[in-house]
Amino acid sequence: MEYRKNDIVTLKIEDCGIDGEGIGKADGFTVFVKDAVIGDTVRAKIMKAKKNYGYGRMEEILTPSPDRVEPKCQFARQCGGCQLQALSYEKQLEFKTAKVRGHLERIGGFTDLPMEEILGMEQPFHYRNKAQFPVGRSKDGRIITGFYAGRTHSIIENRDCALGVTQNKEVLDCVIAHMEKFHIQPYDETTGKGLVRHVLIRYGFFTDEMMVCLIINGEKLPGEEALVKSLREIPQTTSVMVNVNKKRNNVILGEKVRLLWGQPYITDKIGEISYQISPLSFFQVNPYQTGRLYGKALEYAELSGNETVWDLYCGIGTISLFLAQQAKMVRGVEIIPAAIGNAKENARLNGFENTEFFVGKAEEVLPAQYARTGERADVIVVDPPRKGCDETLLATIIEMQPDRVVYVSCDSATLARDLKYLCERGYELKKVCPVDMFPNTVSVETVAQLEKREDGSL
């Protein structure tokens, strides 16, 4: 049967798509329904119809799934941040495991997967150490802050996101009160006028240091001293800054940062290692799970202290320093020069003398260094962005023949593609472990261990 736009269908949700949407069938016609959960029976309105499938909007839950839970956040459905809050955490972990498994089997062609149990959190809320709140005006003219609704730039007012730290609300209350008192206008994207664009808050989970950075469309903020004074009443505040962004685009941060009070960075720890984090640095957002992710990468590297290791796509050297605790030498490569600056500084701060960092593309630096020195690597670790590794890089890895490759991935589809390449050329997939870095969202990280086949067979 074919359906058209605006038709109403009743569906039993039997599957979950990779974006967390519910999938059900009505007379052989597949319907994707955002916010529906496996096990629900729902009434949905078809919003868009193709020949054999369509997209529906959930109108009513007729019978709720036994795995449905009350979302902790009242804005979970509208907000673009969380997709899975209505699903029990146990089922979220099952969903993520199945997603990784599905990609490795379908794209990677792997069978008998050596999968370890997913590393989930005990408390899957309030785990984010960073939040960026857009500031704007409500329809009735009040200054508001919150999060963008899914795929739009309209702000859903919410100062108390369930994924962030509880101090966020205190900071936002303080900033908005200051704006009202000093008649400071929020930035308006449509006109390019107004001053305050975003509030960035970073929190050190293991040090309780907090940075507040206002992103402004100008150089100065009225009443800077008064703002510092009121923010300092929150005991965790250790730095207050402004970041200047006068460009009319979607990029949140500009390049210029001015310190109003305190330290120009916060420090946080992952395991035994301290990292300095400035407003512009990339740092994993879930510090509890980051320790477990890097711990897994370190475990899979199987280091004894004599190894030469490459850490490709190293960012600010977070994984590199973790590895340096147990390796002879670690070499990191990263495309962003400022991140390499941070990596070197972090190595120095923690007293590591067995690290070296290179600015450039992994797929260019590694072949060039190998051609120059001819030095072999015992272990190569990669942690690429979503698009995965460049094929030139994979070819260089094959040429260098490390004993092990540890692949840290934020996209299991490109992970599967790259593992297939390596396993067709002499490597064997030994272990895979998904890690839940982003509970309540559909994202999942994965760590995989590959070993060179002893007999060199394909």
Angstrom distance (rounded) from CA 197 to CA 212: 13
Closer to ligand SAH by Cβ: residue 61 or 336: 336
Closer to ligand SAH by Cβ: residue 86 or 400: 400
Considering the complex, what minimum distance in angstroms separates the CB of residue 361 from ligand SAH? 4
Neighbours of 152 (CB within 10 A): 10
DSSP-assigned beta bridge partners for residue 412: none
Closer to ligand SAH by Cβ: residue 95 or 438: 438
Considering the complex, what minimum distance in angstroms separates the CB of residue 237 from ligand SAH? 25
Question: Which is catalytic among the residues 389, 410, 423, 433?
Answer: 410
Residue 410 falls in the annotated catalytic set: yes
Are residues 200 and 215 in contact, defined by beta-carbon separation less than 8 angstroms?
yes
Closer to ligand SAH by Cβ: residue 143 or 335: 335
Angstrom distance (rounded) from CA 76 to CA 106: 31
Closer to ligand SAH by Cβ: residue 2 or 391: 391
DSSP-derived letter for residue 186 is B
Neighbours of 77 (CB within 10 A): 16
Considering the complex, what minimum distance in angstroms separates the CB of residue 8 from ligand SAH? 44
Considering the complex, what minimum distance in angstroms separates the CB of residue 363 from ligand SAH? 6
Which tokens belong to 417? 């593609």
**Which residue is at the shortest CB distance from ligand SAH?**
315
Q: What separation in angstroms does the CA of 387 have from each of 48, 406, 409, 411, 417?
A: 29, 17, 10, 8, 10
Contacts with ligand SAH, residue ranges (CB under 6 A): 282, 284, 313-315, 318-319, 333-336, 339, 361-363, 383, 385
Dihedral sign of CA atoms 339, 345, 351, 352 in order: positive
Q: DSSP string spanning 432-453?
A: EEEE-SSTTSS--EEEEEEEE-
Who's near 104: CB < 8 A, 6+ residues apart? 110, 113, 412, 415, 416, 419, 432
Considering the complex, what minimum distance in angstroms separates the CB of residue 322 from ligand SAH? 9
Catalytic residues: 410
